[in-house]
Amino acid sequence: MSRKKIIAGNWKMNTTVEEAAALAKDVAAVVGSVSDVDVAVCPPYVNLMAVAEAIKGSNVKLGAQDVHWEAKGAFTGKVSCAMLKSIGVTYVIIGHSEQRQYFGETNETVNKKTKAALAASLLPIVCVGETLDERNGGKMDAVIDAQVRGGFEGISAADAAKCVVAYEPVWAIGTGVTATSAQANEAHIFIRKILTELFGKETADTIRIQYGGSMKPDNAKELLSMSDVDGGLIGGAALKASDFAGIVQPK
Ligand code: PGA
């Protein structure tokens, strides 16, 4: 089964509008004509429009870092799917571990956001992953199982096929510690097994599973060569166009 790789840059809470536009231009210059890999950048909300302009005409797609599930109304501080769609957003990261850790994201809110995104024709990047304590305590499988089943509850196979899953072990995010390619692949195979139970083999085999957590140009090639690693969700290394390019097209 060959799945087209997908590399997405998660810029997190970095870049002013000028910095975002400049970085997006640089990214478009180095990987804007790549067509054998799907490439996306996910800047902060306030920079989405500037980045949309900067990547116009390139193959780089726009992603957001979060979304609210309600359509509109009295939800101060929140942004809806329709708002994102209206400015050209394609992907939306949902359930990032920082959202889970600091901002009360649960498997239930991940599920609501994923359903809302799909209904609005946004493509969800659903994040899952265990903490170091959970891994060391032997709870890794149970945690990931609950995150995948909870996040995808009530979603049809046809809709699930539009989603990307990002496996991001929390202990590897921003720490410089990367999961070994074997550890990453083992987790991805486990996630695909759950997806197979939920949606059947045909669908599960088409869903792309990204690895995230200190992915860099010098470890990307090995990680991306694994059977079930279908791309990367890149934090730190996405903030420099040349590093990002080195992951999109690793040497
Ligand atoms: P990192 O972040 O590449 O800086 O580890 C990845 C992520 O959190 O998406």
The per-residue pLDDT of the chain, averaged, comes to: 97
Rounded mean pLDDT, 153-173:
97
The answer to whether the pTM exceeds 0.95 is: yes
Instruction: Please identify every residue annotated as catalytic.
Output: 96, 168
Residues in contact with ligand 1 by the CB-under-6-Å rule are 10, 168, 173-174, 212-215, 233-237
Out of 3-17, 72-86, 136-150, 172-186, least confident range: 172-186
User: From the CA of 73, how far away is ligand 1's center (Å)?
Assistant: 32
Percent of the chain surpassing pLDDT 70: 100
- Rg of the chain, C-alpha, whole Å: 17
What is the position in ligand 1's atom list of the atom closest to the CA of 127?
A: 9
pLDDT tens profile 98-120: 999 999 999 999 999 999 999 99
User: What confidence category does residue 136 fall into, taking pLDDT thresholds of 50, 70 and 90?
Assistant: very high
Predicted local confidence at residue 1, as pLDDT? 64
What is the position in ligand 1's atom list of the atom closest to the CA of 166?
A: 9
Closest residue by CA, ligand 1 atom 7: 235
User: From the CA of 237, how far away is ligand 1's center (Å)?
Assistant: 8
User: What confidence category does residue 2 fall into, taking pLDDT thresholds of 50, 70 and 90?
Assistant: confident
